[in-house]
Amino acid sequence: MSKPKERYVVWGVLEDPKTQRILVVANRRRGDKVNWSLPGGLVDRGESYREALTREFKEETGLLVDEDDWSRLYTTRFKQRNRASDKRDVNSNFEVYFGTKWSGTLDFSSDPDRIVEHGLFAKRYLVHNLLRRNTEAVYEPLSEWLERPWRGETKHFRYRVEGYGSKRKVTHEQSWHE
């Protein structure tokens, strides 16, 4: 059995301090499906999470956010096991940051991956509903923060997924504050 593949992913909760609205983006996926997410993406080798988030925001939204303005909200470790026989196990490591300062204007035309189609600053209840179709490890921690925001401490979440397709079973293993 091979060692699980490690993935590092970062997202940002960018909130307009005047309206308390949060930026979400619409992503065009395979099969011409659209899903909503926070801006963010994969952390490149040699990048910090904050560096990657600053880069992803510029690429996906055109907005400039200084990496020192991000504060970490939570981390999620998502272990995927017993996937299809032709796929390796995966450990996904997510970090989500909070920010309220940016410069520039929204521009979705410069995404080098051509995935982000558009976005908007949305009220919390709309963010909650738009992101509902994401996997549990993405949706549940954000949903918890949307309902009862915390700042100044990092919360940690752990999930384990066994199987795939209709036999997929997700277990929320634990949560704690740092």
* pLDDT reading at 110 higher than 90: no
Give me the pLDDT at residue 13, please. Answer: 97
| Mean pLDDT across 35-51 | 95
Label residue 178 by pLDDT band (50, 70, 90): low
pTM of the model: 0.90
- For the record, the structure tokens of 124 come out as 């919390």
Sheet-wide strand order for 34-37: 34-37, 22-28, 116-122
DSSP-assigned letter for residue 14: E
| Mean pLDDT across 54-70 | 94
Under a CB-based contact definition with an 8 Å cutoff, are residues 128 and 121 in contact? no
Under a CB-based contact definition with an 8 Å cutoff, are residues 142 and 150 in contact? no
Under a CB-based contact definition with an 8 Å cutoff, are residues 101 and 108 in contact? no
Q: What is the distance between the alpha carbons of residues 111 and 96, in angstroms, rounded to a whole number?
A: 20
Name the 3-class secondary structure at 19: coil
Domains of the chain: 5-177 (3.90.79.10)
